[in-house]
Structure 1
Amino acid sequence: MSDSNTTAFKNPSSFILLGIPGLESAHVWISIPFCTMYITAILGNFTILFTVKTEPSLHGPMYYFLCMLAITDLVVSTSIVPKMLAIYWFNSREIDFSSCLTQLYFFHCFSVMESGIFVAMAFDRYVAICDPLRHSTILTSPVVAKIGLAVVLRSSMVVLPYPFLVRQWPYCRTNIIPQPYCAHIAVVNLACADTRVSSYYGLFVVICVIGLDVIFIALSYTQILRAIFSLPTKDARLKTFGTCISHLCAILAFYIPSLFFSLMFRFGQNVPLHFHVLIANVYLLMPPVLNPIIYGVRTKQIRDRLLWLFTNRGT
């Protein structure tokens, strides 16, 4: 299918992904940092999974949720980056309509899932600090499994309407998507029908799902901070707060770029399109890259296990 195929069609057989519009000549150079970030994300998250699996002392609620976070980061990055690199390296810009919807679903589903995992981790920190004596009885393995299942089911069901709504719209304008992956709003914008249902539902997901997650996390940390400030000594307060640093850093790495990107998308009309796309791509890869680094550096049990693995390999 030609890039210039913008004639009227009701149901396109495929879409054309443009990569970074306006910077096609620099795609090979642009691919280097993204490829490096992707490799770092793969190695880092698999290291987290291997470390938790092989160390019995890490078989607890916090680390089970961390493993869920690592799996989610692997799926989010893998659903986007391989096709992105194929565009940059081989100019493979065409994507089948069904493949586009599949990519769209997995990307948004696991992004919502990641938000839910942060809520579960915040609840774990709340119980551990505000009711430490009951932590092991409240967050048992079956309860952790049920929380994980609830997070998976919620994200799967919430995002499920996305591809069905996208599939029903007629596409008579163009089949060119000015970015290197199929995002919900990017595909909807190509339709030549009244797509307010898709737009409103996307807004509902952002406000009523992601927004509620942020509120639950904020409420959890309000109670956590109250409990910390009620401790008798400064050392006890610092030590207790230190157990939350990794989670807080991961939350900031996930939500702050998302907020910045949303504001730029809505109010940065004068910002060049290629800058929008570059920022969006960096935003997608930041959490998968940073999360294993944050937890590997900040969590003593993981750090000690990794040091033991590396120093005892040859013994």
Structure 2
Amino acid sequence: MASPNSSNALSSTFYLTGIPGYEEFHHWISIPFCLLYLVGITGNCTILHIIRTDSKLHEPMYYFLAMLSLTDMGMSLPTMVSLFRVLWSISREIQFSACVFQMFLIHTFSFTESSVLLAMALDRYVAICHPLRYATILTPKLIMKIGIAALLRSAIPIIPLLARLAFFTFCRSHVLSHSYCLHQDIIHLACADIKFNVIYGMVVITMLWGLDSVLRIASREGRLKALNTCACHICAVLILYVPMIGLSLVHRFAEHSSPLIHIVMAHIYLLIPPVLNPIIYSVKTKQIRQGVLHLLLSPKIISAVRQKC
């Protein structure tokens, strides 16, 4: 399916890859992916519904949690259509414009999630170190500004990276190694100097992910209290950064490894955070847990469970 002829980026068509060597099982492989998407969407929509309908949860911590749920869905949903088109043998083709738009959404929401986790760390820092001023510092107006800033901070650095792709020529294979478009994947197909994209991409990753991952709590007591208070947040950070760093390392330093490793890492990177974050926050956060119980169970059953506990 690879085109041997040179083509301009704007007129290029790329071909997405499913699971190499397992094409005959694609319909069966789509079942667990479908379940993961359903769990992720249902979990995040449930958290958003609980926060919206319960006035007791109209607090900074839960506003940030709502932002996290929105970015989780923003990370996973752009890939859903192309993944199932490939696995269900509907079509493997994707136009350059659609590919760029998909890359923009994936990378923007990935960086946004990192920024939201940074904002959640700030929220916990204020709650731990300045509990009496918590409500006056983190006002709804400030939270809205933080959310907008997180989105702009993530989207704007991506634009030069993707805009440059429009000037590339593709004369090698047009087959991408995933079932969706990633910047690291597509630049290796270009017959052009990609140094800018590689260096600029590393700078963006370092500046955004690197700075976001820094935790600064001065005292030993503060660290211990933070570990006890922020268990959910620490889990969310690990769930995001471990697959993200793993995928970046695989693309840059393990190009000749099995294609299956690249594909598995890519799907873990996009699907695991949206699936696990709602579960973690539902289990570890009492108010969210109670909201889920109220949503799923009748008041009589909830009362009986509380009496037994």
Whether TM-score is above 0.5 comes out as: yes
Matched, 1:301 2:300: no
- 1:113 aligned partner: 112
- Relative to structure 1, the CA distance from residue 113 to residue 243 in structure 2 (aligned partners, 3 Å threshold; closer, same or farther) is same
Please state if 1:82 is matched with 2:81.
yes
Q: Would the alpha carbon gap of residues 266 and 42 (structure 1) be closer, same or farther in structure 2, given more than 3 Å must change?
A: same
- Residue 233 of structure 1 corresponds to none
Deviates more, 1:173-182 or 1:58-67: 173-182
Q: Which moved more, 1:115-124 or 1:158-167?
A: 158-167
Q: Which residue of 1 aligns with 2:4?
A: 6
Question: What is the match of residue 307 of structure 2?
Answer: none
Taking the aligned partners of 1:138 and 1:203, their CA distance within structure 2 comes to 34
Per-residue CA distance 1:116-143 (angstroms, 9 max, x = gap)? 0000000000000011111111001111
Of 275, 280, 289, which aligns to 2:261?
275
Distance 1:78 1:225, change over 3 A: farther
Note if contact 1:21-1:178 (Cα within 8 Å) is conserved in structure 2.
no
- 2:239 is the counterpart of 1:253: yes
Kindly state the Cα deviation for residue 24 of structure 1 after the two structures are TM-superposed. 2.0
Give the Å deviation of 1:82. Answer: 2.0
* Contact 1:7 1:174 (C-alpha < 8 Å) held by counterparts: no
8 Å CA contact 2:15–2:94 kept in 1: the answer is yes
**Partners of 1:130 and 1:224 within 8 A in 2:** no
Q: Percent identity?
A: 42
Distance 2:195 2:256 in 1: 24
Structure 2 Cα separation of the partners of residues 197 and 228 of structure 1: 40
Q: CA deviation at 1:91?
A: 4.0
- Normalized against structure 2, the TM-score is what? 0.91
Greater shift in the superposed pair: 18-27 or 77-86: 18-27
Task: For 2:274, give the aligned amino acid.
Answer: P
Supply the distance in 2 between the matched residues of 1:97 and 1:270 (Cα, whole angstroms).
25
Cα distance in 2 between the residues matched to 1:242 and 1:54: 28
Aligned to 1:36: 35
User: 71-80 vs 273-282, which deviates more?
Assistant: 273-282
Letter in 2 for 1:160: I
Q: Describe the SS at the equivalent of 1:174.
A: coil
Q: Please, what is the CA RMSD of the aligned residues?
A: 1.9
Residue 162 of structure 1 aligns with an amino acid whose one-letter code is L
**Conservation of the 8 A alpha-carbon contact between 1:115 and 1:210:** yes
Structure 2 CA distance for aligned equivalents of residues 224 and 36 of structure 1:
44
Secondary structure of residue in 1 paired with 2:126: helix
SS of residue in 2 equivalent to 1:92: coil
Query: Is the 1:179–1:277 Cα contact (8 Å) retained in structure 2?
Result: yes
Indicate conservation of the 8 Å contact 2:246/2:265, yes or no.
no
Q: Residue in 1 aligned with 2:127?
A: 128
Kindly provide the CA deviation profile for residues 99-127 of structure 1, in whole angstroms up to 9, marking residues without a partner as x.
01100101000100000000000000000
Question: Structure 1-normalised TM-score?
Answer: 0.90
2:158 is the alignment partner of 1:159:
yes
Once the two structures are overlaid, the 10-residue window that deviates more, 18-27 or 191-200, is 18-27
Matches of 1:302 and 1:57, distance apart in 2:
11
1:95, CA displacement in angstroms?
0.6
Instruction: In structure 2, give the amino acid aligned to 1:195.
Output: I
**Per-residue displacement from partner, 1:128-162 (whole Å, max 9, x unpaired)?**
00111111110011111111111011111111122
Letter in 2 for 1:137: T
Aligned residue type for 2:283: V
CA distance in 2 between partners of 1:224 and 1:119 (Å): 19
Structure 2 regions of 5+ residues with no counterpart? 302-309
Structure 1 residues 101 and 310, CA gap change in structure 2 (3 angstroms): same
CA distance in 2, matches of 1:252, 1:299: 18
Name the amino acid aligned to 2:7. Answer: F
Secondary structure at 2:156 match in 1: helix
| Separation in structure 2 between the aligned mates of residue 168 and residue 4 of structure 1, nearest angstrom | 20
Distance in 2 (CA, whole Å) between partners of 1:122 and 1:166 is 35
Tell me if structure 1 keeps the 8 A contact 2:17–2:92.
Answer: yes
Aligned length: 300
Q: Is the aligned partner of 1:226 residue 2:221?
A: yes
The alpha-carbon deviation at position 265 of structure 1 amounts to: 3.2
How much does 1:269 deviate? 4.9
How many Å separate the matches in 2 of 1:107 and 1:196?
A: 22
C-alpha separation between the residues in 2 aligned to 1:223 and 1:63?
A: 25
How far does residue 305 in structure 1 lie from its aligned partner after superposition? 1.5
